[in-house]
Amino acid sequence: MPEIPTTGREWHLVARPQGWPQPSDFALREVSVPEPAEGQILVRNRYFSVDPYMRGRMNDVKSYVPPFQLDEPMDGGAVGQVLVSRAEGFKEGDHVLHGLGWREYAVLDARHATTVDPEAAPLPAYLGVLGMPGLTAYAGLLEVASFKEGDAVFVSGAAGAVGSEVGQIAKLKGASRVIGSAGSADKVRALVDELGFDAAFNYKDGPVADQLKEAAPDGIDVYFDNVGGDHLEAAIGRLNVHGRIAVCGMISQYNATEPTPAPRNLALVIGKRLRIQGLLVKDHAHLRDQFVREVSAWIRSGELKYRETVVEGVENGADAFLGMMRGENTGKMVVSLGE
Contact 247, 236 (CB under 8 A): no
Contacts of 331 (CB under 8 A, 6+ apart): 128, 159, 160, 161, 164, 306, 307, 308, 309
DSSP 8-state assignment for residue 45: E
CA distance linking residue 79 with residue 67, whole number of Å: 22
More confident: 338 or 226: 226
The pLDDT value given to residue 314: 98
Start-end of CATH 3.90.180.10 domains in the chain: 7-128+307-336
The pLDDT value given to residue 260: 80
Other CB atoms closer than 10 Å to residue 325's CB: what's the count?
20
| DSSP element (H, E) containing 30 | strand 26-32
The mean per-residue pLDDT over the stretch 230-247 comes to 98
Topology of the domain covering 132-282: Rossmann fold (3.40.50)
Specify the pTM: 0.90
More confident: 158 or 253: 158
Do the bridges between strand 152-155 and strand 177-182 make them parallel or antiparallel, or are there none, so unpaired?
parallel
Query: Which stretches within the chain are classed as H helix?
Result: 53-57, 132-139, 161-172, 185-193, 208-215, 229-238, 268-272, 288-301, 317-325
Residue 2 banded pLDDT, cuts 50, 70, 90: low
Amino acid, single-letter form, for residue 327: G
Topology of the domain covering 7-128+307-336: Quinone Oxidoreductase; Chain A, domain 1 (3.90.180)
Residue 195 banded pLDDT, cuts 50, 70, 90: very high
Residue 212 banded pLDDT, cuts 50, 70, 90: very high
Nearest to 170 by CA among 206, 196, 202, 189: 196
Percent of the chain at pLDDT exceeding 90: 92
